[in-house]
Amino acid sequence: MEQAAAVTAGRGYVLIPGLLSAREAERARSHILEQVARSPSRDQRQRLYGLIYQDPLFAELVVQPQVLAVVEQILGRDIVLGGFSAHVLHPGAGRMGIHVDYPYWAMPAPFPAQPILEIQAIWLLEDFTPDNGAPYFVPESQKWCCPPEPEKFAAHAEQITGPAGSVLLSHGLAWHDTSENRSRQPRVSLLGNYTPKFVQPLEDNCYGFEPAAAEKFSPRLQQLLRFNRKPSREPVYPLWERL
């Protein structure tokens, strides 16, 4: 599959347009901005968690077939969701900081080239433009297996812009950063973190748990959330798939 090869052996990331309709992207974006408006935090960059329990649209995005196909091609089927959150860059927000993704940033360098430990999905909930915080990535930096170097980043980074409803899939080792939001509107993304199941998830997938919403989750989503990992009568976690 070309998209998986682009992430592993090519530039380290691939933009797939048109996975959400304009209406779906707007629905997700408005939901996030309404929640953020209620939060006491006035940070210029905000994260929002627990979304999969709030609207079925978010739960569907975690298992979006085209995204999952690329992720599984790279990581295999034995994967879990390490996190799924919204990222809001308010007008005036500065850069996030150059980084590789979890779990690499929690590991000592040099990072292992194999097995691949994370693929990130960045959902664009509005057009990402040169001035509203669209991220920068350094092509092929996933091959270097080391923490980002600011000068090299400045010399080689390219900005990824694209239409609302696209998803940007990237290798966890790819050096990246957000840019400043110099527009008058908040820029909203959704971030999915997929890892092999032996990686400790970054976020608590039970944050904001709502039984009524969780009951409707597909078997694949439950598996990604580790809901099916172990009945309490068993003393150890099984190493085989339960579903």
Ligand X SMILES: O=C(O)CCC(=O)C(=O)O
Residues found near ligand X in the complex (CB under 6 A): 87, 96, 101, 122, 135, 176, 178, 189, 191
How far from each other are the two terminal CA atoms of the chain, in whole angstroms?
Answer: 25
How far apart are CB 20 and ligand X at their closest, in Å?
16
How far apart are CB 87 and ligand X at their closest, in Å?
4
In the bound state with ligand X, the residue whose beta carbon lies nearer, of 3 and 46, is 46
* Residue owning tokens 């669209």: 134
Dig out the tokens for 15 from the structure: 């933009």
In the bound state with ligand X, the residue whose beta carbon lies nearer, of 54 and 159, is 159
Give the integer Cα–Cα distance in Å for 155 and 168.
Answer: 22
* CA proximity to 83, closest of 103, 60, 111: 103
How far apart are CB 121 and ligand X at their closest, in Å?
10
Residue 229 neighbours by CB distance under 10 Å: 14
Give the integer Cα–Cα distance in Å for 40 and 1.
Answer: 44
In the bound state with ligand X, the residue whose beta carbon lies nearer, of 68 and 202, is 202
In the bound state with ligand X, the residue whose beta carbon lies nearer, of 192 and 223, is 192
For 38, the enclosing helix (H) or strand (E) is helix 22-38
How far apart are CB 131 and ligand X at their closest, in Å?
14
